[in-house]
Amino acid sequence: MTHLVPLAKEVDDDKVTPGVLGFIVFAVMALAVWGLMKSMNRHMGKVDFKEPEIRSESEPESESERVGAASGGDAGPETKG
């Protein structure tokens, strides 16, 4: 044991190292993040997103309806014949 004493004197007291406790804390945090990510993926897999209803191909939009919907207003006067 006496041959380790000179090594202890070479250690700079101004340097701070995390040591074993720092490693343990980091490992626990990494495991917690891993567990949360796994849980999030499981929960996101259960989510059922409902798609908006899409018009069937038998009812295509007319050009004036698309322009009116895009502009947010009335597409103009309609002529009914």
Q: Which two tokens stand for residue 39?
A: 């849980």
Q: For residue 60, is pLDDT > 90?
A: no
Q: For residue 65, is pLDDT > 70?
A: no
How many CB atoms neighbour CB 22 within 10 A? Answer: 11
pLDDT tier for residue 15 given thresholds of 50, 70 and 90: confident
Q: What share of the chain is helix, strand, coil (3-state, %, to 5)?
A: 55, 0, 45
pTM recorded for the entire structure: 0.44
Percentage of the chain beyond pLDDT 70 is 54
Q: For residue 78, is pLDDT > 60?
A: no
What number is the average pLDDT over the span 23-36?
97
